């Protein structure tokens, strides 16, 4: 599947919200994504299928002072295993470097081994635990990647 990573716009929100709903037990709403796009401290990208312009995945982060907080990332079920998540995170990392952020952080479910492997492959390292972080009661691992900004 051929895709491109492009900035998220309002037109992407319905598909992003559907992927969110299909992926997470307590998903963000379309309104929440719409609100995210209104702020200049947020950065969101989608992986868009070149052929039909459908959204295959999305990722977003908040730029807070000199660091980035990855807010969410998900890939459509039928598009997993094709490097889309890696491409999205690499785009966030590239953007963080351009904005001279010192690093990126995220929380990942202690039970989500696939995501943990992906983040580790991309240079993130576990640095702590947030007990009961998710509304489901699950703990989260706090992971960081530190960047050398030029």
Confidence of residue 92 (pLDDT cuts 50, 70, 90): very high
Q: Which of helix, strand or coil describes residue 116?
A: helix
Identify the residue whose tokens are 């690499």. Answer: 90
User: Domains of the chain (ranges plus CATH)?
Assistant: 3-146 (3.40.630.30)
Confidence of residue 149 (pLDDT cuts 50, 70, 90): low
**Residue 119 is a catalytic residue:** yes
Q: What is the pLDDT of residue 146?
A: 96
**Residue 146 is a catalytic residue:** no
Of 119, 133, 138, 146, the active-site residue reads 119
**How far is 61 from 89, CA to CA, in rounded Å?**
10
pTM: 0.94
Element (H, E) at 21: helix 13-23
Q: Tell me the pLDDT of the chain averaged across its residues.
A: 95
Which residue intervals of 62-112 are DSSP H helices? Answer: 84-98
pLDDT over 70, % of the chain: 99
């Amino acid at each position: 599947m051929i895709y491109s990573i492009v900035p998220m716009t309002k037109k992407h929100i319905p598909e992003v919200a559907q992927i969110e709903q299909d992926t997470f037990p307590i998903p963000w709403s379309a309104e929440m994504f719409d609100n995210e796009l209104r702020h200049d401290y947020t950065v969101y990208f989608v992986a868009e299928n070149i052929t039909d312009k459908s959204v295959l995945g999305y990722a977003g982060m908040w730029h807070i002072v000199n660091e980035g907080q990855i807010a969410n990332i998900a890939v459509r079920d039928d598009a997993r295993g094709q490097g889309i998540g890696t491409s999205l995170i690499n785009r966030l990392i590239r953007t963080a470097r351009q904005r001279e952020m010192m690093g990126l952080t995220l929380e990942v479910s202690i039970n989500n081994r696939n995501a943990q492997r992906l983040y580790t492959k991309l240079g993130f390292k576990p640095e702590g635990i947030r007990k009961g972080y998710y509304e489901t009661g699950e703990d989260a691992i706090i992971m960081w990647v530190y960047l050398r900004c030029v």
